[in-house]
Structure formats: structure tokens, C-alpha cells
């Protein structure tokens, strides 16, 4: 089914180029563009786009949205970063194009459900309403093609449950690499001042470990709550760390983010879910094995 849709859409994309009368030269950009396939999914879940911030990979997301179609699109929170926009207005054209791509999906029949997060909590005021064809909801229940009931939430309210200092999670592995160099200078400086050796890199390594602990505790807290509520699984975002795994007898899905990893969670016609990483400026989708996704060091984790 997916393969059929893929080749059908690919043919259509090609015929559109021909209809425009500009016969694409072999190897030209237009020909390459037209050859790039459009994939069809039953459902797409994305979150943590953080529109309105410099970190948002809007171009990659526009590319992803235009190359991936679906019956239902879930926006799983932190789509717009209201916190940051309140301090400084930042809205390049690519950010508007993300909104346009979402609206275009609605026009072509996609159902769009928006579950606001903490950075776009302003939209929580409108839960239960429909704005520009987008259904806004505090949480949603998605039934997969094979009948599983998945709770769709952003996940920020578990920060309070796990009671963990969120700033600890902000350090990624890049910071650790920088820290190794800084550590040398720090050690040199302290020696001049006659102070004892103190390892900055060991300090930061501990922070990275804490970040991993934060992720584990978040995942466990979410899974336990979802099991207690009787769902088969959960789809969430918030910690910018894509994963699919079984925890406490439920399936935990995290759709990642569009600040660092450019990941989305997609469901096919049979109810199979996988994580897509829109790698390298969105040129090709890569499937990352879910069990490895959690082994990586965390990237920037949101507050």
C-alpha cells in the first residue's frame, strides 16, 4: 500500500513537471526534485519544533512535511516557542512556511490534532476548540491500525513528578568535548593561583550522566502513568530524545525534535510505528533503530 502510494505520487510529481512544459534536463535540479519520492503514512507525529527560535530547523521540517503525507498529523507540543517570542520577536520566512505546509495538509484532507506543550502553553486556553482547521486538545487518544490505544501527550507535567533539576539536562556531549579543552586551561589557571586540582570535565561528565538519568526517569514516569490509566502505549515529546521501547508493559514512543535531531514518528497502514530522521538538510529519510536511539548521549534538552 505504502509502496503503491509512493510510486503513484512519484509519477504524479513527474507529470506535474512535464505539464509545466519545462522538460527537465537530465541531472538538472528540477529533475532531481521531481524524482524525490513522496511517502505516505497513516499517521505522523512531530513535536518540539520551537518555531520562533534560532535553533528551529524549519527548512528541514518544510521539506519533511512536503515529502511525507498522512491521514492524521499530530503536533505533540512545543511547536511554537512562546517563551522565547515573548522576549524577542524572531520569525524568519521559513517559519511561516512550516505553518503553510501544515495548512496545506489540512486543505488536502489531513486531520491535524494539536496537543500544546509547555513552550506553547498559551494554546492550552483553546483546548476543545478548532482553529484554522486544527483541533486543539490537552491530550488525545490515537488508535493504531492494529487497534492499540495510544495516549498522546507532550509530557512536561512529568517534570514535576520526577522532581529533577531541569538545567542539569541542558548539557550535551558537545559540551563535554569543549570541556576537555577548558579543563586544561582551568587546571593551568588553578595551578598558577595555587589551588588544588579540580576537574571540570569530570564535573561535566557527571552532568551528562545526570541528563541520561533524567531521560530514564522521565520515560519510566510516563510509562507507569500510562499503564495505570489502561492504555497500550504513549506518544510524547518534550525531552528531545526520540525512542520506541517497551517499558512497564506499555510501548513508549517519543517523536524527538526539530531543533537537533530532526526526527518524526510515523505509522504505516498496518499500525507499525517507526522513527524517521530527516538527515542532512532533509535530503533523505533514515530509519534509526529505536533500541539504539536511547543509547546516544542526549542533545540539548528543553526546559
Q: Which positions touch Mn ion (CB under 5 A)?
A: 78, 117-118, 156, 238, 302
Residues 275, 47 contacting (CB under 8 angstroms) = no
Phi and psi angles of residue 95, each rounded to the nearest 5 degrees, phi first: -70, -35
Q: Which is nearer to Mn ion, 256 or 302 (CB)?
A: 302
Q: Least distance in Å: CB of 156 to Mn ion?
A: 5
Q: How far is the CB of 90 from Mn ion (least distance, A)?
A: 18
Closest residue to Mn ion, judged by C-beta, is 238
Residue 268 has a CB neighbour count (10 Å cut-off) of 17
What is the distance between the alpha carbons of residues 200 and 185, in angstroms, rounded to a whole number? 10
Q: Is 22 helix (H, G, I), strand (E, B) or coil?
A: coil
Residue nearer to Mn ion on the CB measure, 20 or 303: 303
**Of 302, 240, 228, 249, which is closest to residue 275 (Cα–Cα)?**
240
Looking at beta carbons only, is 117 or 298 nearer to Mn ion? 117
C-alpha cell at 135: 483541533
Select 117 or 282, whichever has its Cβ closest to Mn ion. Answer: 117
Residues listed for the chain: 303
What stretches of 137-282 adopt beta strand conformation (E)? 140-143, 149-152, 233-236, 243-247, 250-254, 263-267, 273-278
Cα–Cα distance measured from residue 34 to residue 12, given in angstroms and rounded to the nearest whole number: 9
Kindly state the smallest distance separating residue 186's Cβ from Mn ion, in Å: 33
3-state secondary structure of 87: helix
Our CB check for Mn ion shows the closer of 257 and 267 to be: 257
Task: Report in angstroms how near the CB of residue 295 gets to Mn ion at its nearest.
Answer: 23
Residues 78 and 49: beta-carbon distance below 8 Å: yes
Q: By C-beta, is 44 or 239 nearer to Mn ion?
A: 239
CB of 120 to Mn ion, least distance (A): 9
Nearest to 138 by CA among 149, 150, 148, 128: 128
Closest CB 262 distance from Mn ion, rounded Å: 17
Pairing relation of β-strands 263-267 and 39-46?
antiparallel
Q: How many alpha carbons fall within 13 Å on the CB side of residue 42?
A: 14
CB of residue 170 to Mn ion, shortest distance in Å? 13
| Cβ atoms 250, 232 nearer than 8 A | yes
CB closer to Mn ion out of 236 and 247: 236
Q: Which lies closer to Mn ion via its Cβ, residue 82 or residue 282?
A: 82
Amino acid at each position: 500500500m505504502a509502496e503503491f502510494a509512493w510510486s503513484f505520487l512519484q509519477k504524479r510529481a513527474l507529470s506535474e513537471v512535464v505539464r509545466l512544459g519545462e522538460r527537465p534536463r537530465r541531472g538538472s535540479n528540477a529533475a532531481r526534485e521531481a524524482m524525490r519520492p513522496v511517502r505516505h503514512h497513516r499517521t505522523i507525529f512531530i513535536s518540539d519544533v520551537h518555531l520562533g527560535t534560532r535553533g528551529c530547523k524549519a527548512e528541514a521540517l518544510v521539506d519533511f512535511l512536503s515529502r511525507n503525507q498522512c491521514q492524521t498529523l499530530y503536533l505533540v507540543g512545543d511547536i511554537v516557542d512562546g517563551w522565547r517570542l515573548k522576549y524577542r520577536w524572531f520569525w524568519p520566512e521559513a517559519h511561516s512556511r512550516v505553518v503553510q505546509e501544515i495548512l496545506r495538509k489540512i486543505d488536502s484532507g489531513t486531520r491535524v490534532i494539536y496537543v500544546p506543550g509547555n513552550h506553547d502553553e498559551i494554546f492550552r486556553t483553546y483546548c476543545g476548540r478548532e482553529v484554522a482547521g486544527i483541533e486543539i486538545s490537552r491530550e488525545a487518544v490515537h488508535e493504531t491500525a492494529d487497534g492499540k490505544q495510544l495516549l498522546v501527550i507532550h509530557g512536561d507535567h512529568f517534570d514535576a513528578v520526577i522532581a529533577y533539576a531541569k538545567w542539569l539536562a541542558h548539557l550535551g556531549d558537545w559540551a563535554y568535548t569543549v570541556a576537555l579543552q577548558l579543563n586544561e586551561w582551568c587546571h593551568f589557571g588553578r595551578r598558577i593561583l595555587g589551588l588544588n586540582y579540580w576537574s571540570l570535565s569530570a564535573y561535566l561528565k557527571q552532568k551528562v550522566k545526570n541528563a541520561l538519568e533524567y531521560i530514564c526517569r522521565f520515560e519510566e514516569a510516563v510509562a507507569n502513568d500510562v499503564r495505570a490509566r489502561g492504555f497500550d502505549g504513549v506518544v510524547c515529546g518534550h525531552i528531545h530524545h526520540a525512542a520506541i521501547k517497551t517499558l512497564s508493559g506499555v510501548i513508549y514512543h517519543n517523536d524527538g525534535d526539530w531543533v537537533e535531531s530532526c526526527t518524526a514518528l510515523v505509522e504505516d497502514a498496518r499500525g507499525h510505528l517507526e522513527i524517521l530522521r530527516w538527515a542532512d538538510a532533509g535530503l533523505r529519510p533514515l530509519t534509526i533503530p529505536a533500541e539504539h536511539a536511547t543509547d546516544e548521549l542526549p542533545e540539548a534538552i528543553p526546559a
